[in-house]
Structure 1
Amino acid sequence: MILEIVSYTILVIYVTSLLLILFYSLTQLNLLINYLTYKKATENEPKFNLTQPEEVPKVTIQLPIYNEEYVVDRLLKNIIKLKYPSDKLEIQVLDDSTDESITKTSEIINKFQQEGVDIKHITRKNRVGFKAGALKEGLEIASGEFIAIFDADFLPAPHWLQKTVPYFKDPEIGVVQTRWGHLNRNYSLLTKIQAFALDMHFTIEQVGRSAKGHFINFNGTAGIWRKACILDAGNWEGDTLTEDLDLSYRAQIKHWKFKYLEDVETPAELPVIISAARTQQFRWNKGGAENFRKTVRNLLASKNISNKTKFHGFIHLLNSSMFLCAFLISVLSVPILFIKQQDFIPNWIFNLTGIFILSTLILYVCYWFTYKNIQGKSWKNILSYTKTFLTFFTVILGFTLHNSFAVIEGHRGKRSEFVRTPKFNIKNISDSWRGNKYISKSISRNIILEALLVLYFAFGIFSAFKLNDFSLFPFHLMLVIGFGFVFFHSIRSRI
């Protein structure tokens, strides 16, 4: 009796997780259809004519930084190259640094000030609200009608403002967001995987949602806000780790429009070591769950918002929780092998595991169009793409434990400090990340658990031979490789 109860409980959790992932993959397929059928109609949109001085609005650029010794010089030298009338441009360096980099930053800013650049070095005595707090404090004294924001590793092209500011002639537009590019996409397998994943968000997801008027999000950087929109939506708040997603939804619930420019690329540096990627992943996924907890009721209760937009917003806010579903499927797949041997379980139930294959195939198709459009590939590259997708999928499975802890903390409302992603100023294969003083050297609980999971899924592979059931063998092999990759590189980056 107890065996039956435990078996059915495992099956219910397992199948429910499979169905949730299928549901998520179907929404991605819907976004792909929106993306492929979207026809850009920018010609008839009202735009500022920046060749007419009376139409050029005042812009403030905010650069939130924290201990950015390796990239601050590159950042500031790039920002002052932006082409825009000098009397209509203000730069705020919002510096929360606690190390000696603050002195280096001050020296660079002083040099630019002497050259006539309107650039201010704004520091705080504490980090209340972290990045959101710094942006909010800078906003209080910002003279610009529009606020462009760039993180320390982003390098906008000289004409970036000329390509984004004109769209604000439409008084309903609150944000213009651009697509992230990748300075070091081909530096390593890790950077290739990250670029592969981010490209999906910045093509299929962002365009697919905006094409039908659904909510999208300002991505924390490489975008520009109407100051009035920030204030109307309640200003920046630091009660979640993704303040950008939080403010985006509050603004759109108040019926501000967001404009997404897929064709305007803003390149940035991807984390080159796995400890930095883990930090970033934890913040993004926990922040997503925190925003689901904070925002979903207001979204669903909002008036004059279509049910389709509410549905896509609900799924968008719940995106990070798919890591928890994937982790549950992974962990429960080993006992499923043994439950299949029991006579009291109908065989048709186990056929439902094919749902995961269907979900994977749907995602395979979605990522293909991203790969093809961003990297300029054709059907001749399908084998190369398949290898890339399988590698991506395998490594992402290795992140599911780490990201699941983040999601659980977010849904529980457990608060934690905003931990920045260390920057390295690395673009070429010959550049080295070793010696970076911002790298964490501690071995976390999660890393130890990931090592144990390698052994656990290796047992699943062994069990396939013992039970003569190889239905989950490929999945368990991917899990061993994925968790092994994450564990090995997590240790490697700390020695």
Structure 2
Amino acid sequence: MIVLEVVRVFFEILLTLAVLGLVFVGGSFLLLIAINIIEVVTGTRWRTPIAPVKLSNEMLPHVLVQIPAFNEGELAADALRAAATLDWPKQKLHIQLLDDSTDDTPVFAAAVAEQLRAQGFDIQHLRREDRSGFKAGALAAGLAKSTAPVIAVLDIDFRPPREWLRVAVPHLLADPRAGFLQSRCEFSNYRTNWLTRIQGLMLDSHYVMEQATRYRAGWLFQFNGTGGLWRRAAIEAAGGWSGDSLCEDLDLAVRAELANWHGIFLMEPAVPGLVPDQLGHWRTQQSRWSNGFVQVARKLIGDVWASNWSFRKKLSAFALILIQAFYPCAALATVSLIICILLGGVARYVPVIEFLLVLIALVATGMTLVPYLTLRRGSLWEYLVTVVSVPPMLVFMSVSNAPAIVGTLFSRGREEFKRTPKSRQATTPEVN
């Protein structure tokens, strides 16, 4: 009996620590929700975006569009065609396919690249000897072969609308300290199945509630690795792309902010892409993101703390960089709570259960309902069916990913970049 009591107390301590971690993560989301409520009640935004500059065709800067690729097949050819439809002067539009593929992707891409060159487009199909630095290494290698002052980054399955650069570039150039611009991303296969609907709900929340609100509040927010622009000067000031993290996008955004640059978030036009439509593929993506966030936290959290930022900004940055702590905390809370109930009975832990349920309900509805209604995603019944599926799925992902996250935290070795498999569902407009 004494042994069981000691075990119960031990897991109660673990449960308490896990709940505190969930409160920290959940509290950061509740703060974002509160900011939105305050803005609605007062009728004013925390920040009024700077109006875009007006540029004639002669004043438009050269833009480099970078498209990283690894074993993407015909998607690589589609991506080149889509980039060529962007409304930008041909002599100022430079497109790079950063192709690290080891399959037949280069064959598909080379043929389309040649066709586009014949139409007057500047297309570079760049191949490397190895995948050193993975996506970050490819972006850095491509950047070294261009002098364009503005860089657009697009993942292989993203299809920007024709007017994207015409809208986004003037917003970036209007703010001389804006290092990057992140556009809201849409997802073309949102309604494919229950898994894509869950992801769509979560990602709408990420962009509309998290990214947009952090921007308006003047806090650090992340570059999402696609559907965005960078100023070359900001990349260089931050030390360039780094391959020592699987989240090279967050890593560069934090270093740019430390170098006195900041980001801009743009709601419209959105840039459509794809979400994984199979559970295994989603797990691969989530595991990479989680481990990458841990690597960034281990690398830069000390620099953030030592910076001259205000305490409020540091705290908000911590909430962003440490957000993936949700997964190990949720996994630990779930396992500890089950063991505690088995050893001490349900009644003893009813207050903890009720507290967690209330926290989950507030965060889940507060973060997802407004984006769902704003973007007109469907009926209220469809929303309810989807939102109740989110917490169980997150618990599943927590238990699945937690060991790898903890392993990354204490590991000093480099991890392999595992691509998220994609289906060829992205639409590609015709090239004029």
Q: Does 1:105 align with 2:116?
A: no
Report the Cα offset of residue 37 of structure 1: 4.3
Partner of 1:393: 391
Match of 1:358 in 2: 358
How far, CA to CA, are the matches of 2:61 and 2:357 in structure 1? 52
* Structure 2 alignment gaps of length 5 or more: 428-432
Match of 1:5 in 2: 6
Structure 2 counterpart SS, 1:272:
coil
**C-alpha separation in 2, matches of 1:53 and 1:247:** 30
Counterpart of 1:187 in structure 2: which amino acid? T
**Length, aligned pairs only:** 419
- The residue aligned with 1:472 is none
| Cα distance in structure 2, aligned partners of 1:368 and 1:33 | 14
Determine the structure 1 residue equivalent to 2:374: 373
Q: Could you tell me which residue of structure 2 aligns to residue 285 of structure 1?
A: 290
Alignment of 1:302 with 2:307, yes or no, is: yes
User: How many angstroms apart in 2 are the aligned matches of 1:56 and 1:232?
Assistant: 23
User: Higher mean Cα deviation, 95-104 or 126-135?
Assistant: 95-104
Letter in 2 for 1:13: L
Native 8 Å contact 1:57 1:145 kept in 2: yes
Q: Which residue of 2 aligns with 1:237?
A: 242
45 and 338 in structure 1: CA distance in 2 versus 1, 3 angstrom threshold: closer
For 1:289-339, what per-residue CA distance to the aligned partner results, in whole angstroms no more than 9, with x for missing partners? 111111111001101x11111101101111111111111122122222223
Decide whether the 8 Å contact of 1:132 with 1:236 is kept in 2. yes
2:59 paired residue number: 55
Tell me if 1:422 matches 2:410.
Answer: no
Q: Name the structure 1 match of 2:402.
A: 404
Offset of 1:100 from its aligned partner? 1.3
Alignment gaps of 5+ in structure 1: 429-495
Q: Label 1:43 to 1:77 Cα distance change in 2 as closer, same or farther (>3 A).
A: same
The CA deviation at 1:84 is 0.6
Quote the Cα distance in structure 1 between the aligned partners of 2:58 and 2:79. Answer: 30
1:251 aligns with 2:251: no
The residue identity in structure 1 corresponding to 2:140 is K
Q: What is the alpha-carbon root mean square deviation over aligned residues?
A: 2.0
- Alignment deviations for residues 188-224 of structure 1 (CA, whole Å, 9 cap, x no partner): 1111111111111111110121111100011001000
Cα deviation, residue 90, structure 1: 0.8
SS in 1 for 2:375: helix
Tell me the equivalent position of 2:430.
none
User: Are the structure 2 counterparts of residues 114 and 153 from structure 1 closer, same or farther at C-alpha, using a change threshold of 3 Å?
Assistant: same
Q: Which amino acid aligns with 1:33?
A: A
State the alpha-carbon separation in 2 of the partners of residues 116 and 382 from structure 1: 49
Offset, 1:42: 9.0
Q: Distance in 2 between matches of 1:36 and 1:74?
A: 42
TM superposition shift of 1:340: 2.1
Q: Tell whether the 8 Å contact from 2:134 to 2:417 is kept in structure 1 after alignment.
A: yes
> Are the equivalent residues in 2 in contact too, given 1:62–1:138 (CA < 8 A)?
yes
Amino acid at match of 1:219: N
The letter of the residue matching 2:420 is T
Q: CA deviation at 1:156?
A: 0.2
Correspondences of 1:467-486 after superposition (within 5 Å): none
Q: Which residue of 2 aligns with 1:29?
A: 30
CA shift, 1:356, in A, is 0.7
Give SS of 1:186's match.
coil
Alpha-carbon offset, residue 143 of structure 1: 2.4
Q: 1:410 to 1:182 in 2, by over 3 A?
A: same
CA distance in 2, matches of 1:175, 1:127: 25
Report the AA paired with residue 15 of structure 1.
Answer: T
Q: Please state how far the C-alpha of 1:369 moved relative to its aligned partner.
A: 1.7
How many angstroms does 1:66 deviate by?
0.8
| TM-score in terms of structure 2 length | 0.92
Matched residue type, 1:309: K
Distance in 2, matches of 1:198 and 1:411, equals 25
Shift of 1:48: 3.0
Give the distance between the partners of 2:390 and 2:356, measured in 1 at CA.
16
In structure 2, the residue matched to 1:469 is: none
Range with bigger deviation, 95-104 or 222-231: 95-104
Q: Which amino acid aligns with 2:3?
A: I
Residues 270-290 of structure 1 deviation map (CA, whole Å, 9 limit, x = unaligned): 111122111111110110111
Q: 1:359 & 1:202 partners in 2: Cα distance?
A: 21
Question: Could you tell me how far apart the structure 2 residues matched to 1:223 and 1:301 are?
Answer: 28
Percent of pairs identical after alignment?
A: 30
Query: Deviation per CA, 1:154-205, whole angstroms, max 9, x where unpaired?
Result: 0000000011100213211110100110100001111111111111111111
Give the one of 202, 208, 212 matched to 1:207.
212
Deviations 1:37-62 (A, max 9, x none): 45569987253323x23421111111
Partner of 1:476: none
Distance across 2 between alignment mates of 1:314 and 1:297: 10
Q: Partner amino acid for 1:35?
A: N
Q: Which amino acid aligns with 2:408?
A: G
Q: Secondary structure at the match of 1:84?
A: coil
Q: Relative contact order, CA 8 A, sep 6+: which one is greater?
A: 2
Stretches (4+) displaced over 4 A? 36-44, 347-350
Q: Secondary structure at the match of 1:299?
A: helix
Secondary structure at the counterpart of residue 263 of structure 1: strand
**CA 1:163–1:308 in structure 2 vs 1: closer, same or farther (change >3 Å)?**
same
Q: Which of 222, 227, 232 is equivalent to 2:227?
A: 222
C-alpha contact 2:151 2:231 (8 A) present in aligned 1:
yes
Residue type of the alignment partner of 2:373: K
Question: Which of 260, 268, 273 is the equivalent residue of 1:263?
Answer: 268
Q: How far apart, in 2, do the equivalents of 1:427 and 1:54 lie?
A: 33
1:423-462 equivalence runs, <5 A: 423-426=422-425
Distance 1:336 1:348 in 2: 9
Cross-structure match for 1:480: none
Q: Name the CA distance, whole Å, in 1 between partners of 2:246 and 2:307.
A: 24
> Is contact 1:70–1:423 with CA below 8 Å preserved after alignment?
no
Q: Cα–Cα, structure 1 residues 96 and 44, in superposed 2: closer, same or farther, change >3 Å? A: closer
**Quick check: 1:90–1:143 contact (8 Å CA) kept in 2?**
no
Would you say 1:174 and 2:179 are equivalent positions? yes
Equivalence for 1:132: 136
Distance 1:365 1:159, change over 3 A: same
Kept in 1, the 8 Å contact 2:47–2:216? The answer is no
Q: Matched residues in 2 for 1:311 and 1:392: separation?
A: 27
Aligned residues of 1:283 and 1:406 also touching (Cα < 8 A): no
Quick one: which amino acid aligns to residue 362 of structure 1? Answer: L
State the secondary structure of the residue aligned to 2:144: helix
